[in-house]
Structure 1
Amino acid sequence: MPDRPARHTLVWLSAHADWRADVPAHDARLAAWFAGGFPAVVARRAADDPDPRVRLGVPLPPAEGKLRLGLRVSLNDIARQAPPLALGEVAVHAGVPEAWRVPLSTLDALAPARVFGAFAWQVLTGLDYVHARSDVDLLWSVRDARGADVLVRALQDWEARFGLRVDGEFCLPGGAAVNWREIAGGSRQVLVKRVEGAGLELRSALFGRAVGDTHGVSLPGRVGVAS
């Protein structure tokens, strides 16, 4: 039996998987999606969710209203799972608009990251997800507060340089995640996401000290965060 996958994990279902759509009217579209060989993505569960099955999502492209189709599946029906695509792989993919090639390569040079959202789904499916107002959604594994502080500054500089928007999460030790813009803010509490739910937690408890105190740290060529 496969391990219970983390949020954002890509999963491919077995040919005879016994899945159930959250909305029965979505059954036909999901059946066509999986027949095309496309994956689903592991979604967050509510902390009090009594259903032991894995919660999955399938985000449809803008041409289909950007609907996110939800479903449940047993662990035994997952044939294969993989982490989100690496940013370096996406940056050079033929399906990525030319105008994004240099910005994405520059982001990849700052710190290792994984891609979810529109850019990932465009590469995975060949469907049109990226449009003129798209941002890029990334995941960074960050080990400590210093790495978080330095990466925040690097991302702010990237946005100012290219006039584009980067969204995403800092993945912390232990499996939690926090949106990088919350880390960049000055609030005492931040929203921390886990596979079993989400809730507000003290900023000072994330890494054992308050994030946002860089003590004059200078930006290196590549931020020291985990791949």
Structure 2
Amino acid sequence: MLERLRRHDLVFVDPDVWAARLCDYPELRAVDLVVEWADAGRPLVVRRRSADDPDGDLALGLPLPPAYGKRRVAVSLDPAGALSAGHFPTLRAAQVSAPVRWLPSIKALLVLAAEVQIEPLVFGSLAWSILTRLDYVVPTSDLDLLWPLNVGANAAALLDGLARIASTSPMRVDGEIIDGDGRGVQWQELASDRSEVLAKGLLSIALVAPSDFLRLRVAE
């Protein structure tokens, strides 16, 4: 499973391996929340690799709650230190933990999801609150969603629906459309009239034509 990890996948790491790895990050060892992260059973998220990440290591990250300055922590880890992998919660499952004022928009998003045959996942503040039981959601938080394209999905209807719902939502509806190769593009870029959009993958980022990106390719 670890060989097929994609950006936005979750990884649970061995607490002993985590503690040993933090020896190389002295600035992180001063943050108790980071030190106890793996021991508390909290996941890290797969991020895009950078030139500083050693070959063969997993490129992982975790966002700290607003009380800790919303800092984004980036680390690399030997795959042997990973215990298991997983995914962010679905919007359907996450709605019970969402702020009440978000619920009408979430209901509309779930109707849209059924119409376009896509099961959206929640990431960002709402997801991390659910996964860690820490306080991430604040009054200015966005609702961040991942929309994985699949055979049968209606991308045009999805973009139209997102724009319509976002225009009246009390919170910002943000997130990415994910293609068959695991690359993500902000849905607002795809809904615009841009000739090129920024596609973010595990290893690189690239400018692509929206029509090419939305032409579903299933990874081998």
SS in 2 for 1:51: coil
The farther-off stretch of 193-202 and 137-146 is: 137-146
Deviations 1:19-38 (A, max 9, x none): 34874301343222222221
Distance 1:38 1:115, change over 3 A: same
Q: Please, what is the CA RMSD of the aligned residues? A: 2.4
SS in 2 for 1:164: coil
- Following the alignment from structure 1 to structure 2, what is the Cα–Cα distance between the partners of residues 207 and 106? 23
**Structure 2 unaligned blocks of 5 or more:** 114-118
Superposition map of 1:83-102 within 5 A: 83-93=87-97, 96-102=98-104
From 57, 73, 83, give the equivalent of 1:79.
Answer: 83
Identity, % of aligned positions: 35
Distance 1:34 1:48, change over 3 A: closer
- Following the alignment from structure 1 to structure 2, what is the Cα–Cα distance between the partners of residues 202 and 142? 16
- Following the alignment from structure 1 to structure 2, what is the Cα–Cα distance between the partners of residues 47 and 197? 10
**Distance apart, 1:136 and its partner CA:** 0.5
Aligned letter for 2:207?
L
Determine the structure 1 residue equivalent to 2:9: 9
Kindly indicate whether residue 65 of structure 2 is the aligned counterpart of residue 65 of structure 1. Answer: no
- Following the alignment from structure 1 to structure 2, what is the Cα–Cα distance between the partners of residues 63 and 71? 21
Distance 1:51 1:28, change over 3 A: farther
**Distance apart, 1:87 and its partner CA:** 0.6
Determine the structure 1 residue equivalent to 2:116: none
Distance 1:192 1:107, change over 3 A: same
- Following the alignment from structure 2 to structure 1, what is the Cα–Cα distance between the partners of residues 215 and 111? 28
**Distance apart, 1:153 and its partner CA:** 0.9
SS in 1 for 2:157: helix
Determine the structure 1 residue equivalent to 2:47: 43
Deviations 1:126-172 (A, max 9, x none): 21111111111100012479822111110111122334311111011
Contact 2:155-2:214 at 8 Å conserved across structures: no
Number of residue equivalences: 207
- Following the alignment from structure 2 to structure 1, what is the Cα–Cα distance between the partners of residues 78 and 70? 26
Contact 1:10-1:40 at 8 Å conserved across structures: yes
SS in 2 for 1:8: coil
Bigger RCO (CA 8 Å, 6+ sep): 1
- Following the alignment from structure 2 to structure 1, what is the Cα–Cα distance between the partners of residues 131 and 182? 25
**Structure 1 unaligned blocks of 5 or more:** 210-227
Aligned letter for 2:86?
A
TM-score, L = length of structure 2: 0.84
Contact 2:7-2:182 at 8 Å conserved across structures: no
Kindly indicate whether residue 119 of structure 2 is the aligned counterpart of residue 115 of structure 1. Answer: no
**Distance apart, 1:69 and its partner CA:** 1.1
Deviations 1:69-106 (A, max 9, x none): 1111111111011111111111013xx32222332232
- Following the alignment from structure 2 to structure 1, what is the Cα–Cα distance between the partners of residues 186 and 207? 12
- Following the alignment from structure 1 to structure 2, what is the Cα–Cα distance between the partners of residues 153 and 179? 14
From 160, 164, 171, give the equivalent of 1:157.
Answer: 164
Distance 1:200 1:48, change over 3 A: farther
- Following the alignment from structure 2 to structure 1, what is the Cα–Cα distance between the partners of residues 154 and 52? 33
- Following the alignment from structure 1 to structure 2, what is the Cα–Cα distance between the partners of residues 16 and 197? 31
